[in-house]
Structure 1
Amino acid sequence: MKAINISQRRRCQINCQLSMIHRDHGRISKIYRKAFSEAWSPILLIFIMVSIPLNIAIILLLRSGVLNTFEYIPVSIGIVVHTVIIMVLIVPMCFEVETLHQTKKDISGIVPNIKQIRLKLKYDDWYGRLLHGPKFGPVISTYGSLTYRMALELLGMYIAFWLFALTRLNI
């Protein structure tokens, strides 16, 4: 009888710890979203508001033909620095999203061993959300969460834009 009480008490402790893990993950996700909306979002907005006219000015400067060969080098370096700054701002947010989804590797082994139905359904839903649902973390309105794949696609589009613009110049 004493062994049954100990195993029930141990199971209750495990269930409480699992509930706490689920609750903490939800809190951390909310903290990341709030930090993005209060800190990173204004920085990115200001950077985009500055970078769009900067890109247009650089294209117009290159297109005008007033630059000689040696003046193209600083402009090219400016383009590369601008691209690096964009990636430096985006990659830490991608890392946050990746970190929030690391638990999906551990949950797959935990769910079959949970005996309490309510907790099992909660973890199963959480696992499904981590695998197939929208990502946790910073969100760019219609594009979704910032992931490494999205950062790579943005970098590819940015480089393709510049290659397209530079091939159309009258040099």
Structure 2
Amino acid sequence: CALLLACSIISPYITIHGQLTEMNHKLIKLLENIKYNKHQNNINDLRQLRFYLNEHTRLSHFVLYTDKITWSEALYYYALISIPINVTLMCELIVEDLMTETKFLFITASIIHAVTGAFPFLLLANMSNDFHKLNKYLPEMQLQLKRSQHLRLKIKYDDLYERLNHGKKIAHTFGTLGNLTFRGLFEAFFGYIAAFFLILKVYMNERQIVNNNQQ
């Protein structure tokens, strides 16, 4: 299931990540040329700025739309199933007195499950980071749009800046659990730790009951 999810995510991730990386690189290069060479914005520069804005908006809508109709529920249910499975495997290793071969099998299964489970989430979190990476360059870029004919484009970039800072995150979601960003994954990790200790406590209590009955 984890491998299927990862393979399904890799293709759109590579496409969108590649487009955003190239777009951010070209925009940063354009801003550096304008800033350090101190040349006026020509028609070609303005055309490129409009193109980057339209592409960013188009890709943002694509991510938010596909998340709403496809990925949000899938990631939500996968997280609800995957986390308890991994926690259970870890508790079995800690609490149960397993044979060496069985313990090795559990360790291998836990590692494979953790890696394949975390991989798609890390990809999607990195995709969200790509969308917001442009944010720190926007104030500087707006300072370069000084003429009256730049006003419309400047307002659009100002709107983009506000959306990136204060609007809805351009990111996939875990259903109702939150946004799939690096911060969201960090918070989910604490949820994993809480679930681990909760299930471990159940295992320890059951083990204690069994030992008491044997005595």
1 or 2, which has the higher helix percentage? 2
Structure 2: segments with no counterpart, 5+ residues: 1-38, 208-215
Q: Indicate if the aligned counterparts of 2:172 and 2:179 stay in contact, CA closer than 8 A.
A: yes
Superposition deviation, residue 87 in structure 1 = 1.4
| 2-structure distance, mates of 1:141, 1:79 | 25
| 2-structure distance, mates of 1:132, 1:111 | 18
Q: Which residue of 2 aligns with 1:167?
A: 201
Which of 53, 56, 63 matches 1:22? 53
Q: Which residue of 1 aligns with 2:166?
A: 132
Q: Indicate if the aligned counterparts of 2:171 and 2:181 stay in contact, CA closer than 8 A.
A: no
Instruction: Please say which of residues 93-102 and 28-37 is displaced more in the overlay.
Output: 28-37
Q: Which residue of 2 aligns with 1:117?
A: 151
| 1-structure distance, mates of 2:45, 2:120 | 39
Q: Indicate if the aligned counterparts of 1:135 and 1:144 stay in contact, CA closer than 8 A.
A: no
Distance 1:128 1:49, change over 3 A: closer
Amino acid at match of 1:100: F
Structure 1: segments with no counterpart, 5+ residues: 1-6
Which of 147, 152, 165 matches 2:186? 152
Q: Which residue of 1 aligns with 2:128?
A: 97
Superposition deviation, residue 50 in structure 1 = 5.0
Query: Percent of counterpart pairs with the same letter?
Result: 25
Which of 115, 118, 130 matches 1:87? 118
* Alignment RMSD: 3.4
| 1-structure distance, mates of 2:134, 2:80 | 36
Which of 52, 68, 87 matches 2:97? 68
Which of 37, 56, 63 matches 1:32? 63
Amino acid at match of 1:68: D
Superposition deviation, residue 46 in structure 1 = 6.4
TM-score (norm 2): 0.58
Amino acid at match of 1:118: R
SS at match of 1:118: helix
Superposition deviation, residue 27 in structure 1 = 1.2
Distance 1:13 1:55, change over 3 A: closer
| 1-structure distance, mates of 2:59, 2:184 | 22
TM-score (norm 1): 0.71
Q: What does the per-residue CA deviation read over 1:25-46, in whole Å, with 9 as the maximum and x for residues that have no partner?
A: 0112233345545765575366
Size of the aligned set, in residue pairs, is 159
